[in-house]
A and B are shown apart, each in its own frame.
Chain A
Amino acid sequence: MKKFLFVIAAIIFPAMVLAGEGYLDVTASGNRQLQLAIPPSRSLDGSQHPEIVKELHDVLSFDMTLAGPFSVMSGAGGKESSGIRPGEFDFAPWKSAGADLLVKSGYRVKGSAITLEFRLYDVFKEKEIVAKRYTGTIRDLRKIAHIFDDQVMQSVTGERGPFSGKIAFVSKQTGNKEICLMDYDGHNVQRLTRNGSINLNPDFSPNGREIIYTSYKRRNPDLYRRELFTGTEASISSRRGINITGAYSPDGKRIALAMSKDGNSEIYVIDTSGKQSARLTSNGAIDVSPSWSPDGSRIAFTSDRLGRPQVFIMNSDGSGVRRLTTSGSYNDRPRWSPKGDTILYCRMEGGGFQIYSINPDGSSDTRLTSEGSNEHGRWSPDGRYITFSSSRGGREAIYVMRADGSGQTRVSRGNAADSHPTWSSRW
């Protein structure tokens, strides 16, 4: 009986579904930006705070404009209704205005405490994608908005945004070169060092809680480590000669740096306490600026062993050295992408520097900047953005851009010369 039913089903079922084998191509040209609508925030308790509305809108618009996948729009021709929760407003005006996504936000203020509610909607499907509520102080307003923007990126692209990260940089605000910290968009600047000396080349630990940098405060360029939340500072390499361009390994357990304790500048790897060291390069040339591949297996660095500074790659034990850059007579400061597929470096051109990207196999050597002199390119922790310093506006300042070189935006807010930026993981 079972066999009979099986035979019957086998005969009937194929006739019920017109199942086709093979496939058809569906293609389209272009790569459009999603229209992201960010209307002004609404008060959830009736109290009106226009400064909060403005600041929230500024943060959300700035982040989402830099993000890349979005084109930001503010309103829907005045026809939009208030209310931020599902069912409290109508999607029709947003659909008519061509919005793909909609960010609704509301705030509630009680003393210095603030509660912020954000909701991201898919306008076409009239569906809520993500909803978050945050509580903090009014001082945390920008930070909270950045955190939600990271969440928007997570929801839309599958990968969190880097907007809640910080940028450490060298500032000449005081006349000396001090290490400072700011939001990635240039707000909330804090000075970390106050030694009145020269401090250079900051680099974040992978967890973003520590920073290493070179300081001349004891007249020798020594490498220091500083815990950001406690302010504790310690020297981790004060060997004779230079101790510069330190870079944390991806696991945070080792530091690659250039030292000249044995004569000329060579690449070494030390542990985070600075006690144990291993020499990776050994030649009569200058080797500096090491940068780890994201899996920690390789290191890119600058060497003038062929006469002019060029970027080289070697295994993390010092073996297998090969030249990466073949164009340009002066290439320096390589920085491996967190995704591992690209290496940034700067090339001297016409008296200044320009930022280039190149694949680790030497292909796709592409210039990303052109205006003014641009150097010190560093990746955001997600590898989608780059921060760098540029003198295009006169004095050096910190800029951010997308990985393809688009969307170059100045984030330094003062007139002091800012340089050597590095982008932390999320706080």
Chain B
Amino acid sequence: MSHTLQIKEPGFGWMLLCSVVVHLACYFLLVKFHFSPLPLKEGPVYYVDIINLPVANPRAGTPSSPGGAPPATTRQEMTLPAKSAVKPGPKPAPSTLKPAAPVETDRQFQERMAKIERDVESKHVSAAIDALRSQVGSGGKGGQSGMPGAKGTEAGSDYASYIRSRLTDAFSTTIAYQSKNPEAMVRLTIGKTGRVTGLRFEKSSKDRLFEDCVRRAISKAEQTFPPPPGGAAFEYSYRFAPEGVSKK
């Protein structure tokens, strides 16, 4: 006796139906997940100052004055309140009785949750600031301003340009000359304290009146020099000339 396996093939109509159903399903899935307009999320906008203006203290990252202790009020404001604003209710006795849960409306519940969230966030911020303070303070210069670890090489902390701006201000009050197009190149060394420790004319203008006014400008500007970044001496060359005199 032999068995013959007989496979009954579906009919054409059935196959057509299946095909239509599958195609339609694929079409809807494609439309839904690929072409459907997803809700746009607006990302944060960053404003970047593309001009690096000279800054008074190249390491300054916080507005507190250099060397000064941070104001106590600021610290107080940042401190997390000692007690949570949420008062825990009386400890429920382990009884079988169903706790007499106060009837809390949705609004009250949301307010309570928001308060808890604010407290937690405040706690985190306060902890982060304390950590930063301790990090800066560990450098032996408590209360020093500036970004921790900054070397004065970040954008906007161009010490040479800052010194140039101070020199330009002073030079405009002292400029005097008797030759036609005086030009002097000065190598300036600024010590760790911000005082000028070296001044050398690399190229003389051969105009004593002009060179004296350059010296006078440097002396005036020196009073506004901050210490160089990184605790190292700073050395750079500056070309002094009346406006419009191009380099010879």
Chain A interfacial positions (CB closer than 8 Å to B): 15-20, 22-34, 68-69, 100, 122, 124-125, 156-159, 384
Contact = CB atoms under 8 A, between A and B. Distances in A.
Given A15-B232, A16-B232, A28-B171, A22 B237 contact: yes
Contacts of B207: 158
14 contacts: A17-B232, A18-B233, A20-B237, A23-B236, A24-B238, A24-B239, A26-B240, A27-B243, A29-B175, A29-B242, A29-B244, A31-B176, A100-B216, A157-B178
A315 B176 CA distance: 37
A222 to B, nearest CB: 42
A16 B241 CA distance: 30
Main secondary structure of the interface of A (DSSP, over half): mixed
Given A26-B240, A157-B208, 20 more contacts: A17-B232, A18-B234, A19-B235, A19-B236, A23-B237, A23-B238, A24-B237, A24-B239, A25-B241, A26-B241, A27-B241, A28-B175, A29-B243, A30-B172, A31-B176, A32-B174, A122-B216, A156-B212, A157-B178, A158-B208
A249 B156 CA distance: 62
Contacts of B172: 28-30
Nearest to B187: A23
Contacts of A158: 207-209
Contacts of B232: 15-18
B122 interface: no
A68 to B, nearest CB: 7
Contacts of B174: 32, 100
A17 B243 contact: no
Interface residues of B, number: 40
A156 B238 CA distance: 23
Contacts of A159: 208
Given A18-B233, A26-B168, A33 B239 contact: no
Interface of B: 159-161, 164, 167-168, 171-178, 185, 207-209, 212, 216-217, 219-220, 228-230, 232-245
A18 B174 CA distance: 28
Contacts of B177: 31
Nearest to B237: A23
Contacts, number: 102
B167 A26 contact: yes
A124 B185 contact: no
B242 A31 contact: yes
A100 B160 CA distance: 28
Pairs of residues from A and B, 6 with the lowest C-beta to C-beta distance, nearest first: A158-B208, A23-B237, A28-B172, A29-B243, A20-B236, A24-B164
Contacts of A18: 159, 228-230, 232-235
A32 B216 CA distance: 13
Contacts of B178: 68-69, 157, 384
Nearest to A154: B208
A20 B239 CA distance: 14
A23 B239 contact: yes
A80 to B, nearest CB: 21
Contacts of A125: 216, 219
Contacts of B167: 26
B238 A17 contact: no
Contacts of A26: 164, 167-168, 171, 217, 238-241
A26 B168 CA distance: 5
Contacts of B220: 124
A24 B240 contact: no
Contacts of A157: 178, 208-209
Contacts of B159: 18
Given A17-B232, A34-B176, A156-B209, A124 B216 contact: yes
Nearest to A22: B237
Nearest to A156: B209
